[in-house]
Amino acid sequence: MISREDALVLLREHVKTKNLIKHCLATEAVMRALAKEFGEDEEKWGMAGLLHDLDYDYTKDDPNEHGLKTLEILKGEDVPEDVLNAILAHCGKKEPETLMEKALYAVDPTTGFIVAAALIRPEKKLEVLDVDFLMRRFKEKAFARGANRDQIRSCEGFGLSLERFLEIALNAMKSIASDLGL
């Protein structure tokens, strides 16, 4: 499998937006934490999170290509097929079927939701957030409107309550808060 270092080189080559790179790092951290929770391969799951939006700068104006362009970019790289399938599933190019696919689908909007929650606090830091605060914000339809609540809540379909899912995600993101600038 492609090394994390090589994947980071690809990420920085293809993704020019700092916040999008941070989103990919956050998604990687949450996917690794979920893999640990489920006894799955943390490297593989982390790789799916790290590379899931590799093509976003190219496809942001053409969402029909999102995910497909990533597969083109990764052609010839040593990326396992289940990682590629998770990338396709996160953006609706295939139905999420495996646990990794379902997890990435749920994690993608969750990282943005948690960042938005940190940014409305005066401290603008993840460390001041807790699950109760996130749950209250989750119920506010106007808050972080772009974070698809149904997609986040899909965590229940793979055995995690929304509270537990948010706890895992928040703790994972706190563990890399300095990389996220939060």
CATH number at residue 113: 1.10.3210
- pLDDT of amino acid 91: 95
Give the structural domain span for 41. Answer: 4-180
- pLDDT of amino acid 142: 94
Contact 111, 166 (CB under 8 A): no
Q: What's the number of domains the chain is made of? A: 1
- pLDDT of amino acid 166: 98
Calculate the average pLDDT of the chain. Answer: 97
pLDDT in tens, 33-71: 999 999 999 999 999 999 999 999 999 999 999 999 999
- pLDDT of amino acid 30: 98
Whole-model pTM: value is 0.97
- pLDDT of amino acid 46: 98
- pLDDT of amino acid 76: 94
- pLDDT of amino acid 71: 97
Instruction: Give the phi and the psi of residue 78 in degrees, each rounded to 5.
Output: -85, 75
Instruction: Give percent above pLDDT 90 in the chain.
Output: 100
Q: Which residues, at least 6 apart from 34, have a Cβ–Cβ distance to it below 8 Å? A: 40, 45, 103, 107, 168
Contact 76, 2 (CB under 8 A): no
Q: Per the structure block, which two tokens stand in for 103? A: 């997890």
